[in-house]
Structure 1
Amino acid sequence: MRLRNKPWADDYIKENDHVVEQRPFEQIGKWKTVFNNNQPLALEIGTGKGQFIKGMALQHPEVNFIGMERDKNVIVSAIEHLKDNNIRNARLIHQKAEDLRDLFAENEVDTLYLNFSDPWPKTRHAKRRLTFPSFLEQYQAVLKEEGEVILKSDNRKFFEYSIESFSAFGMLLKEVSVDLHNDEDEKNVMTEYEEKFASKGQPIYRCVAKFQK
């Protein structure tokens, strides 16, 4: 369902430059200077309303988090999450995943999260899936050698497609769960979608994969 347009979103994004990086393309290779520390860098592509990145930043103050979201009508909610909790180790960028290699240098990212990505179920839209090979090439470029891609989804077909895509790309599957909430430990941070689907009894799928460089 498409969210209602927020005509004030652009101004709100600009007003909160302490939460949203206004010139992200200028930070390529220099993201640690944005946080003014040398902590590991984690990236969430499709950060949505920000519940996950807020929870992870609070749970892991020793890690810097960047949430990427292309929809300005959604990112305003993520701004509120980070701003209201006075979180210092997380930033947002209003950009799209296709520009990843223009935003991050090679080996700059330690962990990459894909949470409840749009499954694009029609075959003709396969290239838009965030686990399509063209996206995996970008992830491989920006991730460090030991960096991981961590995926969660409620969509079984998309999850199976992603597993196959990872394997065909030569990635190593470190963890695979087809019912996360029965397997999880207490450290799992849920997204808004995850809470919604889990409350209906739908299984949550999760996998951890890494590139073999």
Structure 2
Amino acid sequence: MSKVVLSTALLLGGVEVVAAQHASAATNSVMSYVNVRDEEGLNANGAHVVLFDGDKQVASAVTDSNGRASFDALEDNKIYRIEVEGVKISNAYFKKGNDLNVAVLREALPSAPAVVANTAGATFTAHVINKDMQNVANQKVDLYDITAGAVFYKSMMTAADGNVVFDVPAGRNFAVYVNGVNQGYTLRGVEGSKLENTFLSTRKGKANITQKHSLRQYL
């Protein structure tokens, strides 16, 4: 039941209502939201968001597929501190009724895949040859997503022509490893692009290359 508090004033022998304030339990149902995204602006699904009053935890919620954590029944005139997956969000203060956006590094988010597999992107061809300019088969080529940290993406073995072709998503940065050795080469997927580079192996090859590749200056 709503409680009505009336303020009155005496005016010319009569009574005039000058203010009416409604205090109701319904005010506690005002929704408040924290929207969590990674450094690329992608929604963070399943992230645990906790609100603190000082050092006291007062509420928690998990983000939905839109990266949104919803809170109700927060107190009026309180300022809350935010943590996402145990990470304190600095310079972000939250009040009842707010709709606040926060960014968290992707590596701190739960169950974050290395990349979104169905993201349209580019192809990357790695050519592996030796000092004799021979194609080298059966060389292990690994890609690591280094957009935020270093997350393993995919591993493939070169074919008889020394080539291996990866599909990579747009907007991500990758480091290339050949037989476990970082090649010092970074690629970034741009939608629709066809990327390639040649890397040197000390292994024996079987056939001299017939196509000129842009051998990087390792020698």
Q: TM-score, normalised by structure 1?
A: 0.20
Say which one has the larger Rg. 2
Higher helix proportion (structure 1 or 2): 1
Question: Which structure has the higher relative contact order (CA within 8 Å, separation 6+)?
Answer: 1
The normalised TM-score by structure 2 is 0.20
Q: Whose strand fraction is larger, Structure 1's or Structure 2's? A: 2
